[in-house]
């Protein structure tokens, strides 16, 4: 992050540059799970991106407060989001019938 420019860069295990994506928000925490990157921002958005293309998998979810931490359950069924005011938001992952 430098002067209101934030970017996510992707490198291979061997250090080869694979691509990047410019971000509108300032990332406060991120978690890599399976084939996805789950990110939280200081602007209060929860984003899920494809690990290989860095494109958004779904539209960012507005949490209305800065996100301080993110965790994903080991079954990948829920995302736990810690907000600035101390609240813990639990987001179900999958189709509505599965959640």
pTM of the model: 0.85
CA 92 to CA 5: how far, in whole Å?
31
Write down all domains in the chain, each with its CATH number in brackets. 7-92 (2.40.10.360)
CA 10 to CA 18: how far, in whole Å?
5
CA 99 to CA 96: how far, in whole Å?
5
pLDDT in tens, the chain (99 residues): 445 689 999 999 999 999 999 999 999 999 999 899 999 999 999 999 999 999 999 999 999 999 999 999 998 899 999 999 999 999 998 766 554
CA 73 to CA 33: how far, in whole Å?
10
The pLDDT assigned to 93 comes to 86
67 DSSP 8-state letter? E
The pLDDT assigned to 1 comes to 42
The pLDDT assigned to 4 comes to 60
């Amino acid at each position: 992050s430098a002067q209101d420019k934030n970017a996510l860069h992707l490198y291979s295990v061997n250090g080869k540059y694979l691509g990047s994506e410019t971000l509108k928000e300032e990332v406060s925490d991120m978690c890599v799970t399976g084939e996805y990157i789950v990110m939280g921002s200081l602007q209060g958005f929860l984003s899920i991106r494809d690990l290989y293309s860095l494109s958004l998998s779904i539209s960012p979810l507005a949490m209305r407060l800065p996100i301080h931490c993110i965790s994903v359950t080991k079954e990948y069924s829920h995302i736990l989001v810690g907000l600035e005011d101390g609240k813990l938001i639990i987001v179900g992952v999958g189709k509505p019938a599965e959640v």
